[in-house]
Structure 1
C-alpha cells in the first residue's frame, strides 16, 4: 500500500463527507458540522488553511546540514518527530462510518506506535467513543493522552481516573469544544472554565495536564498560574466558532513570551511536513495532526495511519535539509518569509 492508494480508498469511502480535495482548504465541506467541515460558512477552517499557506519558507542550500535530527522530548517521551495524533471521535457522524470508533482507535494507536509518536484520544457525546479510545490505549504499547470535553468538573475528573487506569501518560480538556454542536445534539452540557476550575482539575491527577483551544496570551497566563503542563494553540479546526482567528496568527507572540514557562503545541491546517516546520519556526514545541490521520485510517487502517505519519516525517526531513535546519532545537524564524 502507498499514499496514493490510501487517499484513493479514503475518497471512495468518505463520499458526501470528505472529497479529499487537491487543496484541503475547507471550501467543499463548508458548514458540514457534524461532518468534516468548518462551522457556519466555514470561514475559520478556510482561514486556518490560508494563513498557514501565506507563510512561506526560504530555501537555503549552502550549508552543512545533511542529516537533520527530527527527534523531540515531549511529556517525558522521546518522539521520532514532533507530530502528535490529534484527538478525534465520532466516525459515524463526522467521517461517514466506514470505520467504527473502536476500529479508528486501534488504527491510530497502531500507526502512532509504529511511527514512534504520541496518540491522543478524544471525547464526545457518545460515551462509547471515549471508552473505546481508552480500551485501545490500554491494549496498545503506544503512548496515549486522553483529551476530555469541558464538561462539569466532577465528570471530567471521573474520566481522568479512567484514563489513568488505562495507562495514559497525560490528560487534558479541549476548552475550544465549549460550544461544539455535536455535544449539544447529544444533550450534554459543556462550557468555559475558570482558573479555579483548572486548578481543581490539575490537582486531581499527577499526570501532565493539557488545555487545548487557547488563542490569547491572557489565557496562557491563566493556564500557567493553574499549573497546566501544556497548552494547544487551536480553534478546534474551525469547527466551533465562525470568523475567529487561526492559531498560526497568534502563535509567535505567545511563544516569545511563554515558551520557556509551558509546553506549547499548536494545530490548524497541517497537510504536509513543511507545515509542521512553519509552526516550529514560530515557536511551537510540537503540533497536532488531525485530518490526514482520518484519511489514513479510512483509506488504509493502521497501516494507512503509519504511512501518513511517515510521509509527513519524510517531508519534514526534506524541508529541514532545504532550509538549513540542523535540529528542532535550532529551528529559527529566519527560515520564514512573510
Structure 2
C-alpha cells in the first residue's frame, strides 16, 4: 500500500517542517496501527475494516482525526465484518495525530529523555520511538489485548520499546524523565511523582475536563506547573474491562420524571460539553457528571447525571428561548451550572485556563488563579 505520500501530507498538516516531530509523523504508517475501527453513525457504531476498502483506510488513517477502536468492551479488532453496536461509549482510540504531538511538545522532550507513554493502538508510541529511539520509550496500558496488538504492530514497524500491561494510576515499571498520559486522571497519581526523576515533567489532562496539566517535579517530591492555555479532552482511566455506568433506570427517571423542582433558566440552553471552560469548572466542583443531549422535532434537551443519583433535564424549542429545567436528587446540578454562567457573564472569563498548579508529595493537587482555587 502506498502510504508514504499520505503520511507526508499529514505531517505537513499537523507540524511544521523544521520540527523534530515532522519526520516521525511522515515516517510512521498509522494505517498499520488502525486496521479496523468503529465509526459513529447517529446512535450506532459501524465497524470499518481497512483492508476491504484501502482508499477509505488511507483517507481515515492519514486524516487528523481520532479513530475509535474500542466501544464499551467491544474491540474493533475482535468484531465480525458488518457488526453494528447500538449506543455505547468509546473506551480506546487512536488519538488525532496533532493532539498527540501537542501533548509531546508540552512535555518539552529532550534527546536523551526516557519517557513513559500510554499505549492505545501503539501509534503514539511509534511516534515517540521515531523521535527518541525505542530504547528510551516505555508504553503501558491496562488492557492486555491492546498491549499485545500494539507490541506486535510496533515490531512489524521495526520498533521494540518496553511495553507493559499496567494500570497507570498504580505503581509504574521504572523511572522516567517525562510521563505523557493520553488518558485523563483525577487526581495526579502519587506513583507518577515517585517515578519521575528530579526535574522530570508530567503531562496529562484532568478527567472530565478540557484541561491540560503540566508540572515539573520539585525537590520535596511534589510538582509545580500550570493549566495550559491549550485544551484537550481524553477518556478517563479505567481499571477494568469497562467504565462504570449509571443505572439506566436513573436515566429513565431523568428522561421522563417531573423531578423535585421545576424552574425556568435565565440563560439560553447550553450543553456544557460544547463550552469546555464551563464544563471544566463544573467538573472541578462536581467530578463525574455524565451528559446526554438530543435534538428532536425542534426541541433541544440536555441531561446531567451525578453519581449520587442527582439529575437535571433542561429543554428549549428555540436557541434563544429560556429552557424549562427539572431537577431531582441531593444536588441541584443545573443550579450549579447557572452559578458558573453567572460568574462567566460577570467576569467575562473563567479562571481555569492559565491557573497555577501545585501538587503535594501525597498527590493533592491545587489549582489557583487570583482569588479562585480548586483542589482535586
| TM-score, normalised relative to structure 2 | 0.28
Q: Which has the higher strand share?
A: 2
Larger Rg: 2
Where relative contact order (Cα < 8 A, 6+ residues apart) is larger, the structure is 1
Q: Which has the higher helix share?
A: 1
